[in-house]
Structure 1
Amino acid sequence: MRVIYLGTPRFAVPTLEAIVSAGHDVVTVVTQPDRPRGRGQTVTFSPVKDCALAHQLPVFQPERIRRREAVEVLAAQRADIMVVVGYGQILPQALIDAAPLGIVNVHASLLPRLRGAAPIQWAIARGDRVTGVTTMQVNAGLDTGDILLQAATDIGPEETSLDVGERLSHLGAALLLRTLEGLAAHAIDPQPQDDALATLAPLLRKQDGIIQWNQPAQAIHDVVRGLQPWPGAHTAFRGQPLRVWRSRPARVATDLAPGTLVIDSGLFAATGQGQLLELLEVQAEGRKRVSGADFAHGQHLSHNEQLGRTEISGPEIA
């Protein structure tokens, strides 16, 4: 097949690699424009552009893909199909109509659950035990197109969004190849999504990472695991930001107010429902990541110091 590939992040690289390895003719790779990043504002390529250049594939980087000129450039490639994985711009209907087999998206959830920009993070932050990938036909809606194929995977109790994302990127690559084969053979019957079962996974915001200490320990632990690497789970300690990198629910009851620190064999914080959460690794603003025990020692913590403000609105955990 003649394929136009649209993608930007690291998650999209395995699928591009798989398409190339399978022998498909990738006529153009579309990715976001180069941007200055980091403290030095060094101009860097997207992971997908790096991959495309390594395979000597043509790269197209329009500022806005909805512009007529961009659509005309891609339509002139006469691709059989387009594949999009985390591209980062909304695709116009004119582009959706430009290839005979349309545009296929690899989405990192079991649609119609978790439509939106951050399905991996929200799956974990909301305590899901199973997630997966879906190939779907792109339409004008937000992840509302017909489902082609799906593949599920369990979420381990200690896995982070980085762990699950890496696995899903390869699961999605394999599923996309099966999808291309099935479409070529007219062997896939697209299934409409049931909108009544849809949930959303919106773009993450800084405030989504604010820890609500009045939530149960497991719910907070899920937020710690899910919202990595950004925005991260964070709270306030002595009026300054404190990030929690790793945690573990403790099988110990307490009658302390949520957010109260407890020093025992490690560093713990009281949560809702009379539970404790062990803070395994934390990071104060401008400091390195350290174990909870080392943080307690370095800060000369005393019992009953408080973290955060439990009334601050944070992520939906239910």
Structure 2
Amino acid sequence: MRIVFFGTPDFAVPTLEKLLSEPDFEVVGVVSQPDTRRGRGNQVSPPPVKAAAIARNPDLKIWQPERLKKDKTILAELESLEADVFVVVAYGQILSKKILNMPKYGCINVHGSLLPKYRGAAPIQWAIANGESITGITTMQMDAGIDTGAMLLKAELEILPEDNTDTLSGKLANLGADLLVDTLRQLTTITPEPQDDTLSCYSPMIGREDWELDWKLEAIALHNRIRAFYPNCYTDFRGQRLKVTKTELISEGISESSNLEDVGKIDQILKGKGFVVQTGKGLLLVKEVQPAGKKLQSGWDFVNGMRIAIGESLS
């Protein structure tokens, strides 16, 4: 089976590597997003999929168009490959109808949720943020809509209480690689299942406005958002921005002594663990933080270093 692989971030790498290691598949080309400049030195850095492709096969053809559907030269090259299927995993650009129709068996997408739920750009993050206990991978026959194509195979995965977006993404990426191989091997015998649009919900891209913690929310909601938007959630403490990267639920009900004026205040100091914050409903133990300009540290080290006192406020 001749395959062109479309993908960009770390999430797509296990699927590409799986395809490259299977003797009955031939990856004849890779399409990824352009290199970017990042870091203090503003150095050019390739996307993870490109780096993985070069590491496995330096001679593999790689395209990195700014806008694929407008690049006639690359489109002609892709068409000339006469691929059996295009595999798409978090590529980052919308594919035109012309591209979708190029391969013999169309374009197969590996999506990080159990469709039709959580269509869109950030299914893993929003599943955690919304307190889901089960998620998974869906392989899908792509159409002109956003994650609206007919479903092929699914695999479920439990979301553990300690999972954040990084850990869950890694698990789902590996699960997706295996499911994609199963899908391709059964492609001519699978009966595609249309999605029920009434069961769908959209998972938009995460923005900076999602990162700021509102202590008036319930403890469980804050805990889930910190896991979902890891490592970017923040609050203010003593006039400085403080990232909160790991928490634990202490209670889900408002403590007897609390009132609305206590929301956002430090309620307890737990030796060896960190500090406890009163939320709109429940207490939340802060176990790991990152002060502005500093490295990650435990909540307990932060307590000692800043000499934190009970009753101080976060905002």
**Shared fold, TM over 0.5:** yes
Within 5 Å, which residues of 2 pair with 1:96-135?
96-135=100-139
Deviation at 1:284, TM superposition (A): 1.4
Within 5 Å, which residues of 2 pair with 1:99-248?
99-183=103-187, 186-229=188-231, 232-248=232-248
- Which residue in 2 is equivalent to 1:284? 291
User: Is residue 2:275 matched to residue 1:267?
Assistant: yes
Q: Look up the equivalent residue of 2:172 and give its one-letter code.
A: L
Q: Is the 8 A contact 2:269 2:310 kept in 1?
A: no
Deviation digits for residues 112-171 of structure 1 (CA, Å, limit 9, x no counterpart): 111111111111111110000000011111111110111000000111111111111110
Q: Is the 8 A contact 1:9 1:47 kept in 2?
A: yes
Within 5 Å, which residues of 2 pair with 1:16-55?
16-23=16-23, 24-55=25-56
Distance in 2 of aligned mates of 1:169 and 1:302: 42
Distance in 1 of aligned mates of 2:263 and 2:197: 38
Identity %: 44
Deviation digits for residues 211-261 of structure 1 (CA, Å, limit 9, x no counterpart): 1211211111111111124xx211111222111011001138521422111
Distance in 1 of aligned mates of 2:76 and 2:143: 19
* TM-score, scaled relative to structure 2: 0.93
Q: Is the 8 A contact 2:120 2:147 kept in 1?
A: yes
Matched position secondary structure for 2:99: helix
Deviation digits for residues 257-301 of structure 1 (CA, Å, limit 9, x no counterpart): 22111232231100122x110000111111222222222222232
Distance in 2 of aligned mates of 1:121 and 1:192: 25
Q: Look up the equivalent residue of 2:117 and give its one-letter code.
A: R
Distance in 1 of aligned mates of 2:269 and 2:173: 40
Q: Is the 8 A contact 1:136 1:146 kept in 2?
A: yes
- Which residue in 2 is equivalent to 1:258? 263
Matched position secondary structure for 2:34: coil
- What is the Cα-based RMSD across aligned positions, in Å? 1.3
Deviation at 1:52, TM superposition (A): 1.2
Q: Is the 8 A contact 2:113 2:124 kept in 1?
A: yes
Q: Look up the equivalent residue of 2:148 and give its one-letter code.
A: T
Matched position secondary structure for 1:82: strand
Matched position secondary structure for 1:272: coil
- Which residue in 2 is equivalent to 1:311? none
Structure 1 stretch 247-256 or stretch 172-181: which is displaced more? Answer: 247-256
- Which residue in 2 is equivalent to 1:314? none
**Partner of residue 294 from structure 1, selected from 287, 301, 315:** 301
- Which residue in 2 is equivalent to 1:313? none
Distance in 2 of aligned mates of 1:306 and 1:36: 38
Q: Look up the equivalent residue of 2:2 and give its one-letter code.
A: R
Structure 1 gaps, min length 5: 309-318
- Which residue in 2 is equivalent to 1:15? 15
Query: Matched residue pairs, number?
Result: 303
Matched position secondary structure for 1:173: helix
